[in-house]
Amino acid sequence: MADEATSDDPSTGDRVRRHVFISGRVQGVTYRASTRRAATERGVDGWVQNLDDGRVEAVFEGPEAAVDDLLTWCQDGPEMAIVDGVDAEAESPEGIEGFEVRR
């Protein structure tokens, strides 16, 4: 199975990293806590935080399929959220472990 690794860095394996910005009514609706729960359920590491401009920013690292699934979840988010957009940029994995809600 080692042939499946696509990275030159053996510590990242088949991990991908996405830097994500979510816009809409995404603050004050449990978006960050729900994102942490959704990420943990999918085995995705990273962090999430509110931005002063009303958006939510996040970084997701993990297996590509799990990260893609979490990005799909972000398009709806928790029940009270109204998501207008999800912008994600690919970055090189940094080996983040765990998932943090930043203040």
Q: Which of 15, 17, 18, 32 is catalytic?
A: 32
102 in catalytic set: no
Rounded to whole angstroms, the Cα distance separating 78 from 38 reads: 10
Residues 6+ apart with CB under 8 A from 47: 58, 59, 96, 99, 100, 101, 102
Rounded to whole angstroms, the Cα distance separating 3 from 13 reads: 10
Tokens standing for 89?
Answer: 């940029």
42 in catalytic set: no
Residues annotated as catalytic (active site), given as ranges: 32, 50
